[in-house]
Amino acid sequence: MIGKLKGIVDSCYHDHVIIDVGGVGYLVFCSSRTLANLTPGDSVMLLIETHVREDHIHLYGFYSSEEKSTFTLLQSVKGVGTRMSLAILSTLSPDEISYALAIKDTTAFSRVSGVGKKLAERIITELKDKYSSNYISEIPITSSAGKDPRINNIAIDSISALVALGVNKAEAQNRINTLLAQDKNISLNELIKLALKN
């Protein structure tokens, strides 16, 4: 299996790139986000996910480990294959996907060509827990949550969304604690909006 390619960008196309590695050209499918970072003639290192089938071997390349792991995660959803995963990553960054999952935003995924409302709902339903276990497991319960499971869930979801957007974990928790102490009936969307304003 090929896990990484380091070479020269030979040529770029709308959904793939040719990487010259020691005179051998590797065709690598990429999202438009990764392709935007590639210029013919430049040296490049791409993380690779290799898919072997009876009739083909396909290479999928990623500029960052976050994009690669998100690509793998997306494919765990029923009805989402490699092409759909790349389409989603071409429209939404890993951070935007994390945020959409945290606030259950189906419209974000519906912006992707080929993703209808039902598939968007399925993506959120099937990935919400996986996303939570990967990104929220290290976030402690906020003191404002108390024993109320609804407040606890909102606190965790809002903190994870802020962290995904680049806010320091401790700072995110402080902001959410303060806002929940002021209004325990606040909605998730409003909580995140106010936390970002602060």
Instruction: Please state the φ and ψ torsions of residue 183, each to the nearest 5 degrees.
Output: -150, 105
Q: Where do the domains of the chain lie?
A: 4-62, 66-131, 149-197
The pLDDT assigned to 149 comes to: 63
Cα dihedral 89→94→98→100 (10° resolution): -40
Amino acid 50: pLDDT = 94
Q: Identify the bridge partners of residue 7 per DSSP, sorted by sequence position.
A: 44
Domain spanning 66-131, CATH class = mainly alpha
pLDDT profile of the chain (198 residues), mean per 10: 92 96 96 93 94 90 91 92 94 84 86 91 85 45 51 78 78 84 85 84
Distance (Å, whole) CA 198 – CA 183: 15
Which CATH architecture describes the domain 4-62?
Answer: Beta Barrel (2.40)
For residue 43, what pLDDT is reported? 95
pLDDT of residue 133: 43
How would CATH label the architecture of 149-197? Orthogonal Bundle (1.10)
Q: Which pLDDT score is estimated for 99?
A: 77
